[in-house]
Amino acid sequence: MTFGSRLAAAMDERGPLCLGIDPHPGLLDSWGLPDDADGLAAFADTTLAAFTGVGAAIKPQSAFFERHGSRGIAVLERLLADARSAGVLTILDVKRGDIGSTMAAYAEAYLMDGSPLAADAITVSPYLGAGSLEPAFELAARTDRGLFVLCLTSNPEGPSVQHARLADEAVAAGVARAVGERNAAAPRLGSVGLVLGATIGSAVRELDIDLTAVRGPLLAPGIGAQGATATELAEVFGDARSQVLASTSRGVLWHGPDGAALRDAAEQARADVKAALRG
């Protein structure tokens, strides 16, 4: 099965929710864990156990593992392997973007069968030009994995690039169009999606982006701690709501380290987004 097909099935079965695993220093401290590889390992084990079976996917943030060097990367490798064994889809948040052989090497690191860091999908940045991602597009298609391409982000600096106009369309609209072309033959949900912040307000309408034409999943970070509510999802994404995979991290993670409390918070988040997107 393609990544898009696997994700669509998981969204139908377990809800359109992606649960972030972001072991940043403040969370480790609030959980009473040391800010080192041992703390990371405990955090990863607890979150995976709590989130398995809740939501369609998990999304580890690679940076918080990378900051601990090789031992942190080893924890990330084990988390990805354990999730795979548990049947949990993984979206590794790495936001890689480069050119030529360097982009090909990044693709092999995260999308190649047998790679220690292989995930079901990764996030990538198209802002060296969407064509620079070709090695990742090709390898993801070959290994039935997925990509989530940054389109409209919630940081205040984003619009200076993403809203800029080239010829007759905004840069972000061109990214969305290119992704839609990749998914043109997909029967339901393509394997190449977009990242659109849940707090972007009216940007999709203002930039005249047809999200239904993307024919892929729309990863929407920003639920909970970043301020977006489940109700805003319906307002931002309109007719493309069925494609949205809502993502929450700190809004749920602050309920740790108790595993039962984490699971309860994840299940409540799932109920909220399901009501907004599928209700």
Instruction: Parse the chain into domains and list their residue ranges.
Output: 1-126+142-155+191-199+218-223+243-279
Q: How far apart are CA 211 and CA 220, in angstroms?
A: 13
CA distance readout (Å), 65 to 14, 19, 39, 74, 248? 27, 16, 11, 9, 18
Give me the residue label for tokens 């099935």.
9
Quick: pLDDT tens for 169-225. 999 999 999 999 999 999 889 999 999 998 888 899 999 999 999 999 999 998 765
Which is catalytic among the residues 78, 95, 163, 250?
95
- Output the CATH code of domain 1-126+142-155+191-199+218-223+243-279: 3.20.20.70
Cα distances (Å, whole numbers) of residue 272 to 84, 191, 228, 248, 265: 26, 25, 12, 11, 11
Ramachandran angles phi, psi of 262, nearest 5° = -60, -45
Please tell me the predicted confidence (pLDDT) of residue 42.
98
Q: What is the pLDDT of residue 198?
A: 87
Catalytic site includes residue 95: yes
pLDDT of 143 > 70? The answer is yes
CB proximity list for 189: less than 8 A, separation 6 or greater? 4, 5, 7, 8, 215, 216, 217, 243
C-alpha dist (Å) from residue 259 to 112, 177, 266? 32, 41, 11
DSSP assignment letter at 54: S
pLDDT at 228 over 90: no
Compute the average pLDDT of residues 43-62: 98
pLDDT at 16 > cutoff 70: yes
- Res. 234: pLDDT tops 80: no
